[in-house]
Amino acid sequence: MSELAIFGGQPVRKKLFPAYRVIGQEEKDAVNRVMDSGILSRYLGCWHDDFYGGPEVRSLEKEWSEYFGVKHAMVVNSCTSGLIAAIGAVGISFGDEVIVSPYTMAASATAPLWYGGIPVFADIEPEHFCLDPVSVRAKITERTKAIIVVDIFGQPYDAEAINAIAKEHNLIVIEDCAQAPGAKYRGRFAGTLGDVGVFSLNYHKHIHTGEGGIVVTNNDKLAERVRLICNHAEAVVEDKGVADLTNMVGLNFRLTEIQAAIGREQLKKLDRLTKERIDNCSYLTGRLNGFPGIRSPRVRAESSHVYYVQPFLYNENEAGVERNKFIAAVKAELPVTELREAEGQQISCGYAKPLYLLPLFQKRIAFGNNGYPFNSAAATVSYQKGICPVTERLYEKELFLHEFMRPPATRDDLDDVVRAFQKVYEFKDELKKNDEQ
């Protein structure tokens, strides 16, 4: 009988890991408060005081802007909606190019398409996984209008370098900080480092409202345009006296009063929840870094990391086993996690498939059947495999991620994770032998 669970042996742990739960009595009381008020939403899609929503929405926006030290905060119904609104607000038009990351949730790269913009993929940093400033600079053309940076896995982008490039070329920086609420770069919060920042309140983020998002900016004009796009701009601009009608076809990206009330309570928990993640990751780093071929990436200088997930770099030559086989064996030693939120955390190889390899980009068709919007500049933008070698290398063999550090994980839980790695290392020859058969 094999020792490894993947070949029929007994696993290190059978008990499910604690499910990630951040909703408590405070949120229940907040929901009841809204229900008792009878006001589940108070938005009007016309120029009226209620254009700005109800009391919970306005309170969440005020509290969010105060916490993050930013002038404007606008709630939306998702981070995706916020990214689309931000792209529209900065004036992206048909044929404009927007530099994006290939290694993130797809919405970060597809948002420009809604206004006819063309996503241009730059490569990422091998150590921090955010957009590489050198690659960004190389992708700039006369059609480039903006850069969407992503604070991937919980760490801010290289704001000094990329913001300088943007200033040099008169580009807008939109910061997707969905995975990094509370992280800082040189004393400033992620989300406030570019021209516009977009947070997520999706159910598996650090704090959440089920679904939701928040757009932040210090720019008065951009704030106004985001609000208009999120709430039926075309019906408001005339009465409000808006002169620039670019992209002023509005949508309904509004958040409900119930979600906003939950968000207010969640914001109060952000410091504690991020500290627990950081402490747990520090504990695991100290124990997993000792294994051959496994290394925790360095955190960017003068930055903090809030660990939406914890990344590790993997060197198969040093480990002696190909990454996918090794991680599959580790997963087999730990409980099944088919329903992540109900059954606990997970561990995985790589991350998202490089986005330019998705059918959307390979076939160059997004809206309609005539190749829109790629038919504006498709000949000059490449989506072929190989355009972002660092991204592909990380995806294919050099990176793995886990979520075991999420609250309310205990030291005993984390020790079981370490024991799973220890066991696979101890019996890794079984993996090699099985591969040879």
User: Would you name the residues annotated as active-site residues?
Assistant: 205
Pairing, β 97-100 against β 118-121: parallel
Distance of alpha carbon 27 from alpha carbon 35, whole angstroms: 12
Distance of alpha carbon 323 from alpha carbon 315, whole angstroms: 8
Q: Hey, what are 309's tokens?
A: 């997930």
Within 10 A of 3 (CB to CB), how many other CB atoms are there? 13
Per-position DSSP letters for 115-146, written without gaps between them: GT-EEEEPPB-TTT-SBPHHHHHHH--TTEEE
Residue 412 — φ and ψ, nearest 5°?
A: -65, -40
Pairing, β 144-150 against β 172-176: parallel
Distance of alpha carbon 223 from alpha carbon 225, whole angstroms: 5
* Contact assessment for residue 229 and residue 247, using Cβ atoms and an 8 Å cutoff: yes
Distance of alpha carbon 61 from alpha carbon 213, whole angstroms: 11
Question: 45-68 burial by CB neighbour count: b if 16+ within 10 A, else e?
Answer: beeeeebebbebbebbbebbbebb
Distance of alpha carbon 286 from alpha carbon 282, whole angstroms: 6
Q: Hey, what are 119's tokens?
A: 């996503």
Tell me 18's DSSP state: P
Pairing, β 144-150 against β 399-402: unpaired
Quick one: angle between helices 220-230 and 79-89, nearest 10? 120
Distance of alpha carbon 146 from alpha carbon 279, whole angstroms: 36
Q: Hey, what are 130's tokens?
A: 């955010």
Three-state SS string over 218-230 comes to CCHHHHHHHHHHH
